[in-house]
Amino acid sequence: MYRLYTHNDLDGVGCGIVAKLAFNGNVEIRYNSLMGLDFQVTRFLEKPKKGDFVFITDLSVNEKNEKGLDDYVSKGGQVQLIDHHKTALHFNNYSWADVQVEYEDGRLASATSLFYEYLKNEGLITATEPLDYFVELVRQYDTWEWDKNDNKEAKQLNDLFFMLSIDEFEERMVERLKKNEAFRFDEFEEKILELEEDKIQRYLRRKKREIVQTFIDDFCTGIVHAESYHSELGNELGKDNPHLDYIAIVSVGGKRMSLRTIHDHIDVSDVAGNYGGGGHAKAAGCSLTPDAYEAFVAEPFKIEPMRADAFRNQYNLKEAPHGSLYENRGDDQFFIYAADQKNWLVEWNGSLIEEEFSTFKEAENYVKRYHSAWLVRDEFFIRFLMENAIEYRQLKLTEELDEDVKPYMNVTNENEADQLHH
């Protein structure tokens, strides 16, 4: 009898679908949360069944079960742990585990792709083109390569997964893949996926208005509370706000937190690790521990949501040759303009800051990152230009006056003028 303990997301359930195709009815599958896995493994180790082959995919066990599984294997038990998370790499010290973050060609691995290859190498499953395609869709979504490759079908597969129960999704995929026909969504699925995409876009627009910005451990962090669509939300908010190092998506009801980044220099699995979690460099998660609650919920509660950049402007545009105007909630004004082709300058309330920037994006990131500023609407920009034009004309007029006339500029009454005249 084969036993599979796996995650309850698309990648974990993908492993279950592949297992059903490989072992038919000779496999018992348990879909688990991160904490649920250790409960299932502990129960198995208390009363192991002789001859069972245990697979653990897309998740790793705690230290106690790690030792328990190693002892079980040393006594003749059969275990194979397959994972792709960086935080699980130490399991490669065991003969019964295989953790691989990426392939030799640079592609990121998923649990489904690794498990599928293991079964093929062991002669336990026959490869087909539809199954190859299904596994690749799962891999691209789980590693977020679908976004880079513009593979909408991978995202739609995950959308469908969340719209159906695990049992129904699993049944649909197994039946479809058994037919060995080209993998595609049926008419019913296409329709509900279209409706779901509209729902997702409405949800994202609402949540964009709720994000707050703060610094946590030297990282400029965007925080939003959301129960759904964490991957889509993290990706969208990250692209809209590249000055943020990462996005934290908090689910107070679920006592969980998801972390997402679009940057290569940030590893959110390290951030999650500070709170007992883990994951990938660009997508990770953790429980909402007391420390995490204090840092990501309690302290930011008093912060006002970020203001979005004006998006219907005709004049106050980013990288405009005549400059771009930003403001923040403290009524500070930041004027970004090019000194020449290689240098961009920032004036803060009319005073030039010392730092120079090689690109507009660097200058904009500065005012957004450290001053929470946003691009203002055209009417504020035009008023700003008019006020500065008047000040400039008055200054030039003063400079051009004859030295003999200048003393009279500050005279307030006729007596003072008469004294100056004599």
- pLDDT tens, position by position, 394-411: 655 555 545 544 443 444
Contact call for residues 13 and 110 (beta carbons, < 8 A): no
- Alpha carbon 186 to its chain's center: 30
Q: Is the dihedral of CA 278, 284, 287, 289 positive or negative?
A: positive
pLDDT of residue 361: 96
Write the CA distances from 29 to 12, 24, 169, 182, integer angstroms. Answer: 11, 12, 14, 26
- Residues 88 and 389: their CA atoms lie apart, in Å, by 62
Strand pairing report for 246-251 and 256-260: antiparallel
- pLDDT tens, position by position, 286-337: 999 999 999 999 999 999 999 999 999 999 999 998 899 999 999 999 999 9
Q: Give the other-Cβ count within 10 Å of 268's Cβ.
A: 28
Torsion (CA) 373, 378, 382, 383 in degrees, nearest 10: -60
- pLDDT tens, position by position, 228-246: 899 899 999 999 999 999 9
- pLDDT tens, position by position, 337-392: 998 878 999 999 999 999 999 999 999 999 999 999 999 999 999 999 988 876 55
The packing angle between helices 10-23 and 111-121, to 10°, is 20
- Residues 110 and 101: their CA atoms lie apart, in Å, by 8
- pLDDT tens, position by position, 145-192: 998 898 999 999 999 999 999 999 999 999 999 998 999 999 999 999
Give the model's confidence band at 413: pLDDT under 50 very low, under 70 low, under 90 confident, else very high: very low
Residue ranges per structural domain of the chain? 2-185, 211-302, 309-422
Write the CA distances from 85 to 63, 100, 238, integer angstroms. Answer: 16, 7, 22
Helix, strand, or coil here: 106? coil
| Type and span of the H or E element at 361 | helix 360-371
Q: Give me 3's structure tokens.
A: 């036993």
Return the half-sphere exposure (C-beta side, CA atoms, 13 A cut-off) of residue 6: 31
Domain covering 211-302, topology: Diaminopimelate Epimerase; Chain A, domain 1 (3.10.310)
pTM, full prediction: 0.77
Return the half-sphere exposure (C-beta side, CA atoms, 13 A cut-off) of residue 107: 14
Q: Can you tell me the mean pLDDT for 236-257?
A: 95
- Under DSSP, the state recorded for 376 is P
Q: Give the other-Cβ count within 10 Å of 217's Cβ.
A: 9
pLDDT of residue 323: 94
Q: Give the other-Cβ count within 10 Å of 406's Cβ.
A: 11
Closest CA to 257 of 238, 241, 244, 273: 273
Phi and psi torsions of 135, nearest 5°? -60, -40
Q: Give me 120's structure tokens.
A: 């093929």
Strand partners for 286 = 257
pLDDT of residue 409: 41
Strand partners for 340 = 343
CB under 8 A, 24+ apart: contacts of 202-206: 203/228, 203/229, 203/233, 204/229, 204/232, 204/233, 204/236
Torsion (CA) 162, 163, 165, 171 in degrees, nearest 10: -100
- Alpha carbon 29 to its chain's center: 30
Contact call for residues 364 and 243 (beta carbons, < 8 A): yes
Q: Can you tell me the mean pLDDT for 10-34?
A: 94
Q: Can you tell me the mean pLDDT for 13-30?
A: 95
Q: Can you tell me the mean pLDDT for 250-273?
A: 93
Write the CA distances from 322 to 228, 238, 337, 340, 375, integer angstroms. Answer: 42, 28, 7, 12, 14
Give the model's confidence band at 78: pLDDT under 50 very low, under 70 low, under 90 confident, else very high: very high
Angle among Cα 43, 48, 50 to the nearest 5 degrees reads: 160
